């Protein structure tokens, strides 16, 4: 998934400990739950297995493929680590049975579940990767079919069919293993696979996994990461690298404080990856194939002298897209900023259709740390136009003097109709530059067109 890929890149390239902690917290329930099932409910052993898995992730993160579906990799790693741990803990079998009775966080025990539980993960391993990832994402991590489809590169409808077929295949594997289970019961068991481990445990495991990864040394990538951290000067603020290695009973801690926002020449680029609902390399609207922004390229881009952190599209709803039953949010609230600035640069455009000139299609709302607000309306023909640059369009550029065409490109869908694609940079002047902007809301006005943004930058 794109969010995981971005966090992995922050960690491997920038040594961002917070990014790694976010990954651990996001997927801890999957890893811990898998370990708990295979460890027969021993919570202590499950915690050890989880730490082993995330230590392995920290050491091998830079070697993973860019398009990896991380839940699948973690589930496989958890199965192997748990199997190894259980083999070394056979003498504790009686205590494991007692621990299971006290610490069972899995679905309410029933005779049917008692038969399924020990065989579930082995049966999952017999599915092909796409089916296994579909089940892990939809049931264990409770992702929507839209998210599953985006991860697998298929439509929402295809994702629904994939999940349904995978469930049937999994039930067939269990039945062939002599474990009879109904489809309804299996679906219920899987839905309970995303556990709620003890509070704070994920953060503790994240910290310990990083510490152990450094202590163990690199399989080839982590040493380069540490070297890169000490050498990087531009765009990364390294506040500290504190290490106290285990010697007998001595404690080891590992702390990196690395800025998640790139600061350069008076700009702060805001990362929007957690709000993305469209990728650059494929169409994010179901009815339009080959309609994308892959020519823009992901990463830090400087467009018309303004840097942006670009990882995908944040598409909002509009009446036309709603009529077609596209499922986009009507607004994104609370994008964290925590900085002051003279201007707010929005890299954006419209999609769907052209409203009459002057129609408000979206708004950008600033929330200051003292409770004040400032609102900027985004109007058709003034701050924004359609992202397709039609040859016969009456307006080629927005009329607002603070809006420029920041990027132009092409894709097969637009080219087939003689059009190019483009994005606009609108610089909104902050009326209270001396105040800290706590957060920003990006809200659709639910006009005919559907606004979207690709980047957000604060200029000091």
pLDDT tens-digit series, residues 146-164: 888 888 888 888 889 999 9
pLDDT attached to residue 309: 93
Q: CA quadruple 136, 139, 143, 147: dihedral positive or negative? A: positive
How far is the C-alpha of 375 from the C-alpha of 443, rounded, in Å? 10
Q: How many residues does the chain have?
A: 460
pLDDT attached to residue 286: 80
pLDDT attached to residue 107: 47
Q: How far is CA 36 from CA 31, 108, 209, in A?
A: 9, 15, 18
Q: How far is CA 92 from CA 31, 82, 118, 446, in A?
A: 21, 14, 17, 61
pLDDT attached to residue 144: 86
pLDDT attached to residue 250: 32
Residue 51's nearest CA partner among 22, 82, 72, 73 is 82
- Which distant-in-sequence residues (6+ apart) come within 8 Å of 408 by Cβ? 389, 420, 421, 422
**Strand 373-379 vs strand 306-310: parallel, antiparallel, or unpaired?**
unpaired
pLDDT attached to residue 219: 54
How far is the C-alpha of 48 from the C-alpha of 205, rounded, in Å? 9
Which tokens hold the place of 200?
Answer: 């704070």
Which tokens hold the place of 139?
Answer: 């049931």
pLDDT attached to residue 412: 93
Owner of token pair 């999994």: 170
Residue 190's nearest CA partner among 25, 30, 24, 4 is 30
The secondary structure of residue 453, as a DSSP letter, is E
Q: What average pLDDT values come out for the chain (460 residues) when binned by 10 residues? A: 72 80 89 86 84 90 84 92 78 46 46 74 88 88 84 86 90 87 79 61 78 62 42 38 34 32 67 92 86 89 90 95 93 94 96 90 96 96 94 81 93 92 96 94 96 96
Packing angle, helices 70-87 and 17-38, rounded to 10: 50
Beta strands in 211-342 (DSSP E): 238-243, 254-258, 263-264, 267-270, 299-303, 306-310, 314-315, 331-339
- 441: helix, coil or strand? strand
CB count, 10 Å around CB of 43? 21
Q: How far is CA 251 from CA 52, 136, 208, 248, 256, in A?
A: 18, 36, 10, 9, 17
């Amino acid at each position: 998934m794109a969010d995981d890929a971005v966090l992995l890149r922050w960690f491997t390239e920038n040594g961002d400990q917070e990014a790694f902690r976010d990954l651990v917290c996001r997927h801890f329930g999957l890893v811990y739950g898998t370990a708990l099932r295979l460890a027969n409910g021993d919570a202590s052993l499950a915690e050890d297995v989880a730490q082993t898995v995330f230590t392995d992730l920290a050491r091998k993160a830079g070697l993973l493929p860019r398009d990896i579906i991380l839940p699948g990799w973690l589930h496989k790693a958890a199965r192997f680590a748990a199997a190894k741990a259980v083999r070394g803990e056979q003498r504790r079998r009686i205590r494991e049975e007692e621990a299971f009775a006290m610490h069972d966080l899995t679905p309410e025990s029933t005779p049917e579940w008692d038969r399924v539980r020990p065989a579930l993960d082995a049966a999952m391993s017999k599915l092909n990767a796409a089916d296994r990832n579909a089940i892990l994402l939809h049931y264990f991590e409770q992702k929507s079919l839209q998210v599953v489809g985006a991860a697998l590169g298929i439509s929402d409808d295809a994702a629904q069919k994939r999940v349904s077929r995978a469930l049937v295949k999994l039930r067939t594997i269990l039945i062939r293993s002599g474990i009879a289970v109904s489809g309804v019961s299996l679906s219920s068991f899987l839905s309970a696979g995303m556990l709620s481990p003890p509070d704070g445990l994920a953060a503790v495991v994240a910290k310990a996994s990083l510490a152990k990864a450094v202590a163990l040394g690199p399989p080839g990538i982590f040493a380069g990461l540490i070297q890169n951290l000490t050498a990087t000067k531009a765009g990364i603020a390294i506040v500290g690298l504190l290490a106290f290695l285990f010697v007998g009973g001595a404690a080891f801690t590992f702390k990196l404080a690395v800025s998640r926002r790139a600061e350069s020449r008076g700009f702060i680029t805001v990362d929007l990856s957690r709000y993305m609902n469209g990728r650059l390399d494929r169409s994010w609207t179901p009815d339009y194939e080959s309609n994308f922004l892959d020519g823009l390229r992901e990463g830090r881009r400087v467009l018309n002298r303004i840097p942006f952190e670009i990882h995908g599209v944040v598409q909002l709803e509009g009446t036309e897209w709603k009529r077609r039953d596209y499922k986009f949010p009507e607004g994104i609230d609370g994008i964290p900023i925590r900085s002051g600035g003279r201007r707010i640069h929005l890299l954006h455009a419209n999609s769907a259709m052209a409203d009459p000139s002057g129609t408000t299609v979206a708004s950008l709302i600033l929330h200051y740390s003292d409770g004040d607000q400032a609102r900027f309306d985004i109007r058709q023909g003034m701050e924004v136009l359609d992202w397709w640059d039609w040859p016969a369009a009456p307006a080629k550029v927005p009329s607002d003097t603070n809006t420029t065409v920041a990027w132009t490109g092409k894709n097969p869908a637009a080219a087939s109709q003689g059009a190019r694609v483009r994005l606009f940079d609108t610089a909104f002047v902050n009326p209270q530059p001396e105040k800290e902007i706590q957060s920003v809301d990006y809200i659709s006005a639910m006009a005919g067109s559907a606004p979207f943004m690709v980047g957000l930058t604060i200029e000091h």
